[in-house]
Amino acid sequence: MTVESLSHLDRSTLRERTLQALRAAITSGQYRPGDHLGEAELAASLGVSRGTVRQALRHLQQEGLVTAGHRSMLRVNSLSPEEVRGLFRVRAALEGLAASQIISSADRGVAADRLRAALGRLVEPHADFSARVDADLGFHLLLCQLSNNTVLVDTWRHLEGRLRVVIVAAGPVRAQPSMSHEWHNAIIDTIASGSSSAAVEAINQHMALAADQLAVRAR
């Protein structure tokens, strides 16, 4: 597998674009959990130095997308079932807090309308799996953004790469049940009703279902 050469880029943008290319290759499923990431192979594919690749891989380690295995060989991170469930428990806590803050604000109705519009993109009948993953994560990112809590949003986005890797690795059969209209609509309804406890419960149930589906695939 190769990624598009970056040799034509200006030096000032080379490191960032190398990082972006490798992150996209991992989160899109081009490189799967457990795949070895060799510096020499990646440097040749991208048309950059091994040092540039090394810096990008070190950054991806910090993001949790890459991990060092046997003899320090770098691989795409493969989360255990326990780690998947832990990831989704943290995600549930963040999104539950976001929903509670939305409900306590004066813009609750506007937020519910924006979430319904985002839900329409998620249930687009002709969307492929990749587009549905984008729409699903986009819905939940919007939920966090509507809280107007920038620290919460930044924390959620730090998890986003790992979430995407887990979802893409699971594939449509495992992942799509948790992308259903019903689960997402329930979250919107509880926000519109103004019940923080109901919203938190809906989010917790949604994330527990997703973790159960995706952790099975991670075995």
Separation CA 11–CA 18 (nearest Å): 11
Looking at residue 27, its pLDDT comes to 87
Q: CA-CA distance, 3 to 45, in Å (whole number)?
A: 6
pLDDT in tens, 43-64: 999 999 999 999 999 999 988 8
Question: Of the CATH numbers 1.20.120.530, 3.40.50.300, 2.170.140.10, 3.40.640.10, which one belongs to the domain with range 81-217?
Answer: 1.20.120.530
The residue assigned the tokens 């509670």 is: 100
The pLDDT of residue 5 = 60
Pick the CATH number of 11-76 from 3.40.350.10, 1.10.10.10, 3.30.70.20, 1.10.3210.10: 1.10.10.10
Tens-place pLDDT, residues 181-200? 999 999 999 999 999 999 99
Instruction: Please report, for residues 139, 163, 165, the alpha-carbon distance to residue 63 in angstroms, rounded to integers and kept in the order given.
Output: 21, 11, 12
pLDDT, residue 13, reads 81
**Do the domains at 11-76 and 81-217 have one common CATH topology?**
no
Q: What is the pLDDT of residue 208?
A: 96
The C-alpha atoms of residue 195 and residue 173 are separated, in whole angstroms, by 32
- pLDDT at position 219 is 42
Q: What does the domain layout of the chain look like in residue ranges? A: 11-76, 81-217
With a CB cutoff of 8 Å and minimum separation 6, the contacts of 96 are 199, 200, 203, 204
Q: Write out residues in the chain with pLDDT < 50, as ranges.
A: 217-219
Cα separation, 203 vs 2, in Å, equals 38
| Residue-level pLDDT at 218 | 45
